[in-house]
Chain A
Amino acid sequence: DQQVKQNSPSLSVQEGRISILNCDYTNSMFDYFLWYKKYPAEGPTFLISISSIKDKNEDGRFTVFLNKSAKHLSLHIVPSQPGDSAVYFCVGNQGGKLIFGQGTELSVKP
């Protein structure tokens, strides 16, 4: 039962352009959503979050959009930089328990 789904295993973007990572979920009980970023040989690190009562949260180059009716969220990175190349995980939070998607590997090419 995959409660959080990231259907694109990989994404390649040119430096300076926008990266859009998508995520769908099935669990209506999630009260927060988060995005984590992971480099090889490191643990995931927190990037940005959004409450289930909001539809947008912005932090610098990163913006997360939430569409509750569609059970869909997306992470926008503008402008993309080569250092953004990593695996990005969409995460649902239900009362403190974190449920991860499968991840999308972003490659930003110079």
Chain B
Amino acid sequence: DTGVSQNPRHKITKRGQNVTFRCDPISEHNRLYWYRQTLGQGPEFLTYFQNEAQLEKSRLLSDRFSAERPKGSFSTLEIQRTEQGDSAMYLCASSLGDRGLDTEAFFGQGTRLTVV
């Protein structure tokens, strides 16, 4: 399977704990995105990378969130000191190209986070 892979698929954690999610993009895709989706809403942009460089981070993202893509391949999203409001589906996507020349982004199945 050469699609976007996200792990874990589900995560239940206690409030205040740290969690880390992993995304493996499609090989040779140089752009990688993280989105968050809550019930009844569309995916909300969090951040994206061009290779290993983080190009933009949403101002809605608090300092508790950090993302890395150390070698321009897989990426991790860490949430520190989780809060109940962090409960959501976290989606990763990847695409080829630059400046929208290849506009199709492929999404993974997501990681569903529940903070109790």
Contact = CB atoms under 8 A, between A and B. Distances in A.
Given A89-B42, A100-B42, A102-B41, A95 B100 contact: yes
Interface in B33-70: 33, 35, 40-45, 48, 50, 56
Contacts of A36: 107
B90 to A, nearest CB: 11
Given A96-B31, A96-B95, A97-B48, A46 B40 contact: no
Contacts of B99: 95-96
B4 A99 contact: no
A49 B42 contact: no
Contacts of B28: none
A99 B93 contact: no
B4 to A, nearest CB: 7
B105 A42 contact: no
A43 B4 contact: yes
Given A95-B99, A96-B99, A97-B56, A46 B104 contact: yes
A43 B109 contact: yes
A43 B48 contact: no
Nearest to A47: B104
A107 B97 CA distance: 34
Contacts of A31: 100
Contacts of A97: 45, 48, 56
A31 B99 CA distance: 9
Interface of A: 4, 6, 9, 31-32, 34, 36, 41-46, 49, 89, 93-103
6 contacts: A4-B42, A98-B33, A100-B35, A100-B42, A100-B43, A102-B41
Given A6-B42, A43-B109, A43-B110, 20 more contacts: A31-B100, A32-B100, A32-B103, A41-B109, A43-B108, A44-B91, A49-B103, A93-B100, A93-B103, A94-B100, A95-B99, A95-B100, A96-B31, A96-B98, A96-B99, A98-B93, A99-B45, A100-B43, A101-B42, A102-B42
